[in-house]
Amino acid sequence: MRFCLTFELNRITELENFHRELFEKEVNTGAIENRGHPGRNFVFSDPDGILFDVWSELSPSFKQ
């Protein structure tokens, strides 16, 4: 699976809020998952099936 773009959010609450907002707008949204890496994530797609990844943790290089 390849993603067009990955979004990094700065907390699980922001991830949950974004997930809920997309779901309410009937965007094709997957469940929030634990993939064994820091943070949680979910995947969503646009009407053309292009996949996007969303994480609840900022990457270490961005935090610096």
Domains annotated for the chain, with CATH where assigned, are 5-58 (3.10.180.10)
Residue 62 has pLDDT above 70, yes or no: no
**Highest mean pLDDT out of 3-7, 34-38, 51-55, 60-64:** 51-55
Q: Which two tokens stand for residue 20?
A: 């809920």
Tell me phi and psi for residue 24, to 5 degrees: -65, -25
Separation of alpha carbons 35 and 25, rounded Å: 25
Of residues 56 and 57, the one with the higher pLDDT is 56
Closest CA to 1 of 62, 45, 34: 45
Q: Can you give the pTM of this predicted structure? A: 0.84
